[in-house]
Amino acid sequence: MGKKINALAYKPVGILAGVAAGAVAGAVFKQAWKLAGRDDDAPNATDEDRGWTEILIAAALQGAIFAVVKAAVDRGGAVGVRKVTGHWPD
């Protein structure tokens, strides 16, 4: 498969994997927030009943979880594409 065809073939896989990664990351974050001993729902930035520290900690935790899950899914997808096609996706 040519490089352009390989890249085009990976696009839909990457998009679907990204959507799935977002759902998984959201569920992981919700559980991590509960384990941290907080409320069931993480605070929104505009929640006036929550302090700056709690909001910024929640945002940092959520960002870290999303980044790790996305990197793992992207890397796993690329490895899978190489196994199927013999080429690393660009």
| pLDDT 10s digits, 19-62 | 999 999 999 998 998 888 767 788 889 999 989 999 999 999 99
The full DSSP string for 67-82 is: HHHHHHHHHHHHHHHH
pTM of the model: 0.79
Which of 51, 53, 58 has the alpha carbon at shortest distance from 34?
Answer: 58
